[in-house]
Structure 1
């Protein structure tokens, strides 16, 4: 169904004065009449029929009739009592024949009258529904009467100190789902699901759902450890936690999951440091994600709880610290406060007997059969314990190239990519998430056009990789040829071997030499195309299939602190890591993200708190390198030699909302600059501190750090390589000179910063992903734990402050897919502040990314959202990213041109949008693919974090 924007009823009668019940006089607001009528329809016909096009049109008509009646009866400029206005609404409904709706409106008025009468009286204790009496619960040993008192207590605790939630309603909805002989597991789940259906009413029901879920998790863990049925309320667990830690560690070691060294900590001291109240900070999505995929379990029964989970990770990262308990408590407090979160592999495996803690692995696949299959084997071993992979396939000779060993011709790189794709599917990281890999190919490779089509849903399936990401590794020279409308020559790497290790002016000189050699007939496998035509094809495939992504070779190398140690040949799975790779080294990066939203108040950025967070976070990431389980020797060699880490951030959009800054604004770009500069300064300082304590990394000598060159200084190096054609800001707020002197003495880590997608850990923390704009203000998120209603709590608060949060607003948000623009009741300033991703011009995302990039020694996972893509827009957008110094881009997101019919989220949690079904790009296109542009809700796009 194609939707159209509706106009509100005429508002020409606002000269009425409304006499309120307390005698005050207010301005007349016709939209309040519309809202009241729509509430009556929703109550009568339900959230589907009550929000149909017919009803919306009828509401407009009835509102106009009420306005006309008031004008006839009182005349313009009159004062009208609010009760008289409501009487006219009743009459209009009756005259229209909507008798059931009129009755619902009468009940609506009565309900509000009762609320006014009881507004000053506290809510009474919960009244257990009568149907609970006599119900039994089936247990492994028989049946027992349902404990209604405990059910009431559990729901009361879950709703305590939580505004805008109705504990009695949760209890009633729970009771409605119970039956005689219900199992214990079903009984624990019933209140969770009851509260979950209310999330769209108010986001605080998500916290209620989480607390109710936690009640079941407590029973599960305590029972498993005790060997007999045990339950505990939240208040009881607060007393149990200190002693529970020691029981948990002992059990985890006994079943062979936890590192026995955890038992050597002073567990009484650590148990006393646990803060039970932090269990109450989770949203339902966050806690369910932890429960399903992170908590340790035995025979399918979880024995880990939120605070023991965080303490386990903290202990695991403090194992080799001198003051282990002090550091473990410091790490625990940082994690459990949600100020910082380690990446998923670290959370999965820290403190266990197989501590594979690193997030990203980058490899170069060399050009012989043995190395190709060694690379695929390494992929499997690295993916087994949750690593995300980036493979550089550029050295593999192209289609038609000569094979000396067999005297035959090569089939090119594509058949081997198919094998790598299937390996990623087969190795699913223990069922916790799918194996994930991204293949990179330089734009001059002879197979680049076939590489573009790997994700198409048509053609030879043996030459398709539907489960593997792909990315272009684009040299500056190619884009310069595009701008010149010049030729571009494709080569097989076995005939031009030194192009792979060249960049900048050196690459240009060698490339042009090989072009001349090809023209002279000295090369056997080559083809010349128009650069613009290849660029168009790249953008077309990017729109149609979401791949290959566009990443830039020269900025990644020219600005790399490790130029002396090798070449950056690719990025990683999520395009934020830029590390050297070679036949002898598998690059490794260890990730974690600062929750920027936790470091911002309405007054601004809390610089002291951010510095303290970063100081501890960098230490934790550095510890990962020494504690890590390496499944490939080349990875251990590289990680110990260079010690790179990737500190990023999440919650950027939430921070902007707290500050009152729209994403699409100069102020937001400035904040991106300011916050990243502070984070960069703190991170470099932390690594320099660690170098003084522990020593510099092995390959430090000769690095840019050793010469006192900081990331901000390398922008000028890139500008020189561009011939001065670089539109990247270089202003600074802090005094960097003292830090330049410090880093010359030593750095603990070769690279320190990278902004990853944080797809999963941001769910755990309950903030917006990474540097992303708001996706929607109300939507359903799907991941491997299921479908979850997500509603923007800050928006609800802003609307509630202005008296605009009600059932009609919920219906409007569902009707418009969480987009505020078409909802006329919402003031312009709120629409601007909560503008969603596809309402924002994507150039704002690029501009903010460019400002951050000047401070970052690695890169950013930069998603770009284009509401109505066409060739010109995409061309301008990706060239803007290149010209402003961005190192990489990630997914291109586009939205559907047609939508499915809406249905209520309540009780179904169904998806809001269909997949894109129509192409609007104006370049020559093939038929659009079914998987056009990766869905932002894709549960598989979580592999980095």
Structure 2
């Protein structure tokens, strides 16, 4: 219901909302929840994570069973083996990036107002653990503005950073009072705890300016130093605001009031958000993520493309004399400078991209920031395509051991690649290739017509069959004209020719199923139609099922079809737990 409602309600008429679904690992339905997104047409507006407890992780280590608890009455309803549940979570995350993990007990260990409520979930990108009806109030400091000096030999201007932090805390506190809240409950909770989330963006660019590789202990140390400084200065600013305006209303009931602690204006102060859109506006790297690419092509209006090159790389290339238009084109094609011989080795070491950073360094950077962050850190751990299930399990355990509050991973190719199939090979003798002759059409055939919604309009697909199974396909785009109608007719003709020439229908389904465009549609029953080609595949597959024919192959649904950006048509990527377009800034989590 929530997924369908989110799909129907667009933000500003163009952007859709996003949701985070988190279920406790001891819920009786936990296995169904873990496997909920195996059908990639369902819950397309949700990120899902499992709420893991300390007790569960201890049971995983011991290979022991743990109890499932009925949330309505608190009574045990059964047991599962913790290691088997953990292994299933890891396997599905390896296959498609979900579910993620949220360490619930850690969220509540840092809950400043436990008497007000228990934290059970986060916002969609995971950086803000919230009580029911609390809201996000986030701001991020552009770190590149406080690094001075030549590129690769810069220094942090700590005085400038302290001044920015003080202004930002005051600004975010003002937002609470100036905001118009949609519900009374949200206003009461937001003003009762006055939570804010001050974080950073441009961390990867700042490291380059400082001459520090992202995948290094120096970067981990700098992360701790930066966020520790920001937290200390932010708390001082919140204390100053408390003296001027008073502590947050729930302070007496908070861990600060009950323990005679700091008098703060805000219950929480620091957060590391993904900053997908605002970092593009600022022209810097996202949040605390490594570079997405050193250079790439950005789609703009009227279908033209602009080459986007990291400004630090371009400046450094000019300064050190290895810049050339040919070099830039090669970097655009690769997205990376890792194997580009013309780029000096020390520069290649600095300009590493997300998929060149090992998963362990991803987690160590996240843990470094989490150490001094009141709320949580939004970050994606990137794995190469060849990573094993054991590699994912190791990182999940490492995140737990290093004190992270959650972990989201993405294995290269597990979401944005189309399933590859291998054509059947035939052994032939030398000579003239054999010629296929389509079998003639009988005078009378029987079939079924289905009306399937697509982004181009309602598509009427007829699949006719004979004794041998599906025989021909017709497609009609209703009132639509132009390219949509002509392309559907062309696709139907080619499918019919293939079927009459002896190509198994299951192979056609395999080739067309999952092809996505920038305007998907949803059927009445909730199924997702990714494109017109996908609609033809589903109609043919249903016709085969109606006739009692079994598919001769198994479809690999382990990938999630990110497809094209709904705003500019560029390829989508997965970053900080959200589907994002680096070309125009679109994000499902905005």
TM over 0.5: yes
CA deviation string 1:722-762 (max 9, x = no partner): xxxxxxxxxxxxxxxxxxxxx63x21111111111100011
Q: Which residue of 2 aligns with 1:471?
A: 49
Counterpart-to-counterpart distance in 1, 2:374 and 2:417:
41
**CA shift at 1:467, angstroms?**
2.1
SS of 2:341's partner is coil
Which of residues 123, 130, 139 is equivalent to 1:592?
A: 139
The 3-state SS of whatever aligns with 2:105 is helix
Give the alignment of 1:585-734 within 5 angstroms: 586-601=133-148, 602-706=153-257
CA distance in 2, matches of 1:813, 1:649: 27
Per-residue CA deviation, residues 521-567 of structure 1 (Å, 9 max, x unaligned), is: xxxxx343322221121122223332222111011111222233321
> Where does residue 587 of structure 2 map in the other structure?
942
Contact 2:387 2:411 in 1 (8 A): no
Change (3 A) 1:687 1:898: closer
**Which of 442, 450, 464 is the equivalent residue of 2:32?**
450
Residue among 307, 321, 327 paired with 1:803: 321
Judged with a 3 Å threshold, the aligned counterparts in structure 2 of structure 1 residues 898 and 544 are, in CA distance, closer, same or farther, namely: closer
In structure 2, the partner of 1:489 is 67
State the partner residue of 2:269: 752
In the aligned structure 2, how far is the partner of 1:789 from the partner of 1:423? 38
Post-superposition Cα deviations, 1:604-659, rounded to whole Å, max 9, x if no partner, equal 21111111111111111111111111111211110111111111110000100100
What pairs up with 1:330-479 in 2 under 5 angstroms?
419-457=1-39, 464-479=42-57
What is the SS of the residue equivalent to 2:125? coil
Q: Which has the higher helix share?
A: 1
Structure with the higher strand share, 1 or 2: 2
Conserved 8 A contact 1:893-1:935: no
1:570 pairs with 113, 121, 125, which one?
121
Give the TM-score normalised by structure 2. Answer: 0.69
Conserved in 2, the CA contact under 8 Å of 1:669 and 1:848? yes
Q: Following the alignment from structure 2 to structure 1, what is the Cα–Cα distance between the partners of residues 123 and 113?
A: 17
Q: Give the corresponding residue for 1:829.
A: 346
Question: Which secondary structure state, in structure 2, belongs to the residue aligned with residue 845 of structure 1?
Answer: helix
Instruction: State which of 848, 865, 871 in structure 1 corresponds to 2:389.
Output: 871
Structure 2, gaps ≥5 residues long: 419-514, 517-554, 563-571
Match of 2:471 in 1: none
- Partner-residue secondary structure (3-state), 2:38: coil
Aligned residues: 435
* Deviation larger for 873-882 or 821-830: 821-830
Shift of 1:834: 0.5
- Cα distance in 2 for residues equivalent to 1:785 and 1:643: 45
Task: Pick the aligned partner of 1:556 from 98, 103, 107.
Answer: 107
* 2: CA distance, partners of 1:780 / 1:646: 33
The equivalent position to 2:373 in structure 1, one of 825, 849, 856, is 856
8 Å CA contact retained: 2:18, 2:124 = yes
In 2, Cα distance between the equivalents of 1:852 and 1:931?
A: 31
- CA, structure 1 residues 782+842, in 2 after alignment: closer, same or farther (shift >3 Å)? farther
In the alignment, what sits opposite 1:266? Answer: none
Confirm or deny: 8 A CA contact 2:270 2:374 kept in the other structure. Answer: yes
Gaps of 5+ in 1: 1-418, 497-513, 519-525, 710-742, 901-913, 916-924
RMSD: 2.8
Q: Give the equivalent residue in structure 2 for 1:929.
A: 559
Say which SS state the counterpart of residue 335 (structure 2) adopts. Answer: coil
SS in 2 for 1:594: strand
Deviation at 1:799, TM superposition (A): 2.3
- Say which of 817, 822, 839 aligns to 2:356: 839
Conserved 8 A contact 1:650-1:768: yes
> CA 1:549 to 1:782, structure 2 compared with 1: closer, same or farther past 3 Å?
farther
Question: SS of the residue aligned with 2:204?
Answer: helix
Conserved? CA contact 1:680–1:855, under 8 Å? yes
- After superposition, residues 142-157 of structure 1 pair within 5 angstroms as none
TM-aligned CA deviation for residue 863 of structure 1:
1.1
Q: In structure 1, the residue corresponding to 2:406 is in which secondary structure? A: coil
Paired residue for 2:399? 881
In 2, distance between residues paired with 1:569 and 1:533? 24
Larger Rg: 1
Residue in 2 aligned with 1:539? 90
Q: Match of 1:818?
A: 335
1:432–1:680: structure 2 CA closer, same or farther, 3 Å change rule?
farther
The C-alpha deviation readout for 1:374-431, integer Å capped at 9, x for no partner, is xxxxxxxxxxxxxxxxxxxxxxxxxxxxxxxxxxxxxxxxxxxxx0001111111122
